[in-house]
Amino acid sequence: MARNKEALILLLDVGPSMHSVIPEIEKVCSMLVEKKLIFTKYDEVGVVLFGTEDTDNELMVEVGGYQHVVVLKNIKVVDGDIVEALQQLPRGTTHGDFLDAIIVGVDMLIKKFGETNKGKKRLCLVTNAQCPIKEPFEGTKEEQVTTIAKQMTIHGMKMESIILRGKLSQDANKKIMDENDRLLSIFSTETSARLTYVENPVSLLGALRTRNITPSTIFKGDLELSPKLRIKVLVYKKTTEEKFPTLKKYSDKAASTDKSATHEVKVDYEYKSSQDPDRVVPPDQRIKGYQYGPQIIPISHAEWDAVKFKPEKGLKLLGFTDSSNVLRHQYMKDVNVFIAETGNTKATLALSSLARAMKEMNKVAILRCVWRQGQANVVIGVLTPNLSDKENIPDSLYFNVLPFAEDVREFQFPSFSNFPAPKQPNEQQLEAAANLVKMLDLAPQGKEEVLQPDFTPNPVLERFYRYLELKSKHADAAVPPLDDTLKKITEPEDDLLQQNKSVIEKFCRSFELKENPRHKKSRRLWREEISGSGEDQGKGEIAAQPSNLIEDKSNVEVENIGDLTPVQDFEAMFLRRDNPDWVVKAINAMKNKIYDLIEDSHDGDNYSKALECLTALRKGCVNEQEPKQFNDFLRDIRGFCQEKNLHSFCDSLSSKGLTLIPKSEAADSEVTEEEARSFLVKSEPKVE
């Protein structure tokens, strides 16, 4: 393991212009160290801050200068201390000089490792590069940067720079920024450095790879265009799903004093005879059976090995075809990348010419692949060109697996044109939809593409690792809610919605959606997200009434709450005395109705109706001495509104003076006057 350990120095800008993004930097950097603690716990990390008020680094002592650069943590094996330090970065007061910080970082790495540990030394710079760097004593800034970059190459250091721009940087001097950009780009041409510009907090979280996985080849050998022309290639995984960590089952059987207890649970599988359930059949007496019609045919491993399909290892080209012959949705699996063998110029050229010709002609290549000898199946896939616009990165090809004839299910679906006229959108509806598609734009011209997969972290994993760290300190901490940055991945961004308010409203007005009353069962789907108490019973029973019943209500026993006159229906149900269940039924039905109204509301147009219903429900609950039903429900509603960002509804609650039912109104209530009064004042739920 030791030979793979990496030494990383984080160079973090904490100057005044960075303050707004420091919370995100804290999160991403502490996550990085947390993951190192889990996956590569022998890695070493140092932290250098710049833009600080203080100065604390060895170079300052040794040669002077290097002001406002603080070595927060010297290089050491990762531990909880570094995580904590990164979770509370100090806010600096001066403009930082990123080049000073880089030099301090390089110096630290050289002092600690000298010539050793090549290729495993990394610097990671996070800054907005808004402030000019100091003029060097001699030569130009460019020369100075080039010299440092060369030094880094000699010592086998890599650098990763994350530059914050767009929304993340305030208005700054364009000239300085351009100069800094130019200087930073020297690093990426002179040495192995990655330069990433990010414009929003989500991509900042995604831009810094918190876990470094060394890719391993899945194939090394010839890409065979024909028996006479073979190109040496390496094949790597380009994407692989990073799975949610596997947690072990916990056993609390061991005594709490037993320090060496593993607490693990072993899972044992035993195969038992179906006639004699007590007889365990040992592994060597088992044989695999395959279904053939209603029967099961036993086939032993040896039999299989003798007859199974055994293709030769190798990658063979079948031919090229128009890219339109392969559709995007036919890609089957995670993606591989084909790169020419390292250092093989001819192979690089061959691959490059193929890729470029394919791109020009809009062609793709179809390949037959057997990655390993002994693999029992072949893979058919498509190669698509991946041209590099960077000078030091070679052209490559992406490989996607395609389905076989057996894998495609030919289900037929009705043509859209076969639907009757009412289901066809009209001109105006089409226009509204086209506007929405155009305006709800995640890749605006001249700006960074939002939610680009390359820069979007997995919110669930983020959440898990943060919670893990939290739990390591507070064992019984509750799961914290998804923070605002991560919410931008799971929900549409507010800014975007605000900007396009009129387009969205137009869209909403153009279409009419109606719940289908005949279809009761599927209502569960539409109600699913409401987690509250007691709505289960009422769920299926609030379907709208057929309209002809509503016309003459007086003669009809009301059994449900309709769309037109919910309050009256509710009261009618309440007054039915043929069965005491009606009260409960009415309350549940009303609750559902209110949820419906709030949720289906466009811009609050249903709110007044919902408030009427809520008032009626409250009155009913006071009369029937069911305060708990109402109080619980009102709390649920508030939670629901907060979750859905429907604060305006909460506001209208307080304006109507709708609050919990206190003891004074219903004796059974557990709510005090005080509590009832303050209920609507607090807009934030208690954070646990």
Partner 1 sequence: MDYEPESDDPFRDDDDEPDSHLSLEKESTKEYVVYLVDSSPKMFNSTCPASADDQKEESHFHIALSCISQSLKNQIINRSYDEVAICFFNTREKRNLQDLNGVFVFNVPEREFLDRPTARYIKEFDRVEESFAKDIGSQHGIVSGTKENSLFNAIWAAQALLRKGSAKTADKRVLLFTNEDDPFGSIKGAIKSDMTRMTLQRAKDAQDLGISIELLPLSHPSEPFNVSQFYADLIGLEEDELADFMPSAGNKLDDMKDQLRKRMFKKRIVKKLKFMIVDGISIELNSYALIRPTAPGAITWLDSVTNQPLKSERTFICNDTGALVEESTRRFYPYKGQNITFTMKELSEIKRSSTGHLHLLGFKPLSCLRDYYNLKPSTFLYPSDEAMDGSICIFIALHRSMIQLKRFAVAFCGSSSRAQLVALIAQDEVIQSGGQIEPPGMHMIYLPYSDDIRLVEERHSEKSGTVSKASNDQIKKAADVIKRIDLKDFSVCQFANPGLQRHYAVLQALALDEDEIPEIKDETLPDEEGLARPGVVRALEEFKTLVYGENYEEECEANSKPSEASKKRKAQAEVATKECENYDWNELADTGKLKDLTVVELKYYLIAHNLPVSGKKEALISRILTHMKK
Window 446 to 485, contacts with partner 1 (CB under 8 A): 449-461, 463-464, 467-469, 471-472, 475, 479, 482
639 vs 329: CA distance, rounded Å = 39
Nearer to partner 1, 56 or 541 (CB): 541
Q: Which residue from 577, 573, 564 is spatially nearest to 538, judged by alpha carbons?
A: 573
177 vs 181: CA distance, rounded Å = 6
Structure tokens at 637: 């509603």
Q: Which of residues 239-278 bind partner 1 (CB under 8 A)?
A: 239-242, 244-245, 247-254, 258, 261-275, 277
Q: Which amino acid is at 537?
A: Q
181 vs 568: CA distance, rounded Å = 69
Q: Which residue from 66, 41, 47, 43 is spatially nearest to 56, judged by alpha carbons?
A: 66
Q: Cβ contacts of residue 21 below 8 Å, gap of 6+? A: 128, 164, 168, 201, 204
Structure tokens at 520: 């009761």
The angle that helices 607-623 and 581-599 make with each other, rounded to 10 degrees, is 160
DSSP per-residue letters across 359-372: HHHTEEEEEEEE-S
Q: Which of residues 630-669 bind partner 1 (CB under 8 A)?
A: 643-644
181 vs 164: CA distance, rounded Å = 11
| 76 scored as a contact of partner 1 (CB under 8 A) | no
Rounded to 5 degrees, what are φ and ψ at 140? -95, 170
| 325 scored as a contact of partner 1 (CB under 8 A) | yes
| 440 scored as a contact of partner 1 (CB under 8 A) | yes
State the nearest-atom distance from the C-beta of 586 to partner 1, in Å: 24
Q: Which residue from 647, 627, 625, 629 is spatially nearest to 638, judged by alpha carbons?
A: 647
Structure tokens at 16: 């005044």
| 328 scored as a contact of partner 1 (CB under 8 A) | yes
Given the rule CB under 8 A, which of 409-417, 544-552, 580-588, 630-638 is the region that contacts partner 1? 409-417
State the nearest-atom distance from the C-beta of 26 to partner 1, in Å: 18
Which CA distances in Å does 232 have to 348, 349, 395? 9, 11, 14
According to CB under 8 A, which one of 115, 138, 259, 293 is a site residue for partner 1? 293
Q: Which residue from 686, 549, 571 is spatially nearest to 621, judged by alpha carbons?
A: 571
Q: Which of residues 125-154 bind partner 1 (CB under 8 A)?
A: 153
Given the rule CB under 8 A, which of 3-11, 177-185, 503-511, 614-622 is the region that contacts partner 1? 503-511
Given the rule CB under 8 A, which of 17-25, 98-106, 506-514, 627-635 is the region that contacts partner 1? 506-514
Q: Which of residues 366-405 bind partner 1 (CB under 8 A)?
A: 366, 368, 375-378, 380, 384, 386, 388, 390-396, 398, 400, 402-405
DSSP state of 48: E
Spell out, one character per residue from 17 to 46, where the chain touches partner 1: x when CB under 8 A holds, - when not: -----------------x--xx--------
- 370-390 burial, b if ≥16 CB within 10 A, otherwise e? bbeeeeeebbebbbbbbeeee
Instruction: Work out whether the CA dihedral 551, 555, 561, 566 comes out positive or negative.
Output: positive
Q: Which of residues 171-200 bind partner 1 (CB under 8 A)?
A: 189-192, 194
State the nearest-atom distance from the C-beta of 114 to partner 1, in Å: 19
Write the burial class of residue 109 (CB in 10 Å: 0-12 exposed, 13-18 middle, 19+ buried).
Answer: buried
State the nearest-atom distance from the C-beta of 36 to partner 1, in Å: 11
Size of the site for partner 1 (CB under 8 A): 224
Given the rule CB under 8 A, which of 93-101, 120-128, 312-320, 568-576 is the region that contacts partner 1? 312-320
Nearer to partner 1, 79 or 571 (CB): 79
Given the rule CB under 8 A, which of 333-341, 550-558, 580-588, 617-625 is the region that contacts partner 1? 333-341
According to CB under 8 A, which one of 176, 349, 584, 650 is a site residue for partner 1? 349
According to CB under 8 A, which one of 361, 556, 564, 575 is a site residue for partner 1? 361
According to CB under 8 A, which one of 88, 257, 490, 555 is a site residue for partner 1? 490
State the nearest-atom distance from the C-beta of 197 to partner 1, in Å: 15
Structure tokens at 424: 């066809």
Q: Cβ contacts of residue 567 below 8 Å, gap of 6+? A: 612, 613, 616
Nearer to partner 1, 190 or 612 (CB): 190
Nearer to partner 1, 14 or 202 (CB): 202
| 337 scored as a contact of partner 1 (CB under 8 A) | yes
Q: Which of residues 528-547 bind partner 1 (CB under 8 A)?
A: 528-529
Spell out, one character per residue from 571 to 610, where the chain touches partner 1: x when CB under 8 A holds, - when not: ----------------------------xxxx--------
- Torsion angle of the four alpha carbons 61, 87, 207, 485, in this order, in degrees rounded to the nearest 10: -150
| 522 scored as a contact of partner 1 (CB under 8 A) | yes
